[in-house]
Amino acid sequence: MEKDLIEYIAKSLVDDPDAVSVTETEGDRGSVIQLKVADSDIGKVIGKYGRIAKALRTVLSASAVRDGKRYSLEILD
């Protein structure tokens, strides 16, 4: 569910929603959600001073509390 949430938000932010790719892997400290967007849209996902990236991570952690899991978000270049 968290993967779908990040994908939905990212597709809403970018100009090229078809280039959005979200994968989920298991890491040492919980699940890791990796977000990849087109090179021209990377700034829209990160935001000025990283504010949008921080907001995405906040929404992800708030959603994960319900499941009792730990998630982290990586934005890939």
Q: What is the pLDDT of residues 6-31, one digit of tens each?
A: 999 999 999 999 999 999 999 788 89
- pLDDT for the residue numbered 46: 95
Q: Where are the alpha helices (DSSP H) in 1-77?
A: 2-13, 42-46, 51-67
Q: Is 64 helix (H, G, I), strand (E, B) or coil?
A: helix
Whole-angstrom distance, CA of residue 60 vs CA of residue 18: 22
Q: What is the pLDDT of residue 11?
A: 95
Residues 30-67 have pLDDT tens digits of: 899 999 999 999 999 999 999 999 999 999 999 888 87
